[in-house]
Amino acid sequence: MTDEELLAAIAAGDHPALRELFERHAPWIARRLGRVLPASAVEDVVQETFIAVWRGAGSYAGASDAGGWVWGIARRQAALWLRRHGRPQMTVDAGQGADPANQAIARVDLERALAMLGGEGGDAGEQRELARLVFAEERSTAEVASLLGIPQGTVKSRVHTLRRRLRAALGGES
């Protein structure tokens, strides 16, 4: 079964489908979460992630990759854990060798970095929306293009420009 088929089965109450999805995704999710969470928290967050998958499988619309959808839930669960335990907010994908824009976001709050680019209206508002969709929500180029009603190539070009402007606004950090 594909991940998408497993999610449909989970939505229908199929426990073995949840077990199979867990076996496919829990190891890599745990590795990624281990980069930003204490080792003692990773197992709890992974379990909370799959409880949320069980509860929310019916809301999976198929617009994005199922693994990406599960990862989005894991990121939210990690953020909840960090808030509950009074830990500083971290970007869950921060890591060595990461994209320079993602590293900047890990060091500086996204809104503060975007504020360095200028005001709220017009181009700045569009950049904020693009940054929210791409960096915060980790949506695919195709999803962003569909949501904004623009071609994928335009999304790619605008993200490239936004990354360059963020690096410049943050003093060339990489």
78 and 8 within one domain: yes
Here the tokens at position 167 are: 């690096």
Q: How many helices (H) and strands (E) does the chain have?
A: 9, 0
CATH number at residue 139: 1.10.10.10
Q: With a cut of 70, say whether residue 90 has pLDDT above it.
A: no
54 and 10 within one domain: yes
Q: What is the pLDDT of residue 94?
A: 41
Which residue range forms the structural domain that includes residue 137? 100-169
- Quick one: angle between helices 15-33 and 3-11, nearest 10? 120
127 compared with 87, residue with greater pLDDT: 127
Residue 94 in any domain: the answer is no
State the burial class of residue 120 (Cβ atoms within 10 Å of its Cβ: 0-12, 13-18, 19+): exposed
CATH number at residue 25: 1.10.1740.10
Here the tokens at position 90 are: 């971290």
Residue 90 in any domain: the answer is no
pTM of the model: 0.53
104 and 79 within one domain: no
How high is the mean pLDDT of the chain?
79
Report the domain count for the chain: 2
Residue 131 C-alpha from the chain's centroid: 12
Q: With a cut of 50, say whether residue 98 has pLDDT above it.
A: no
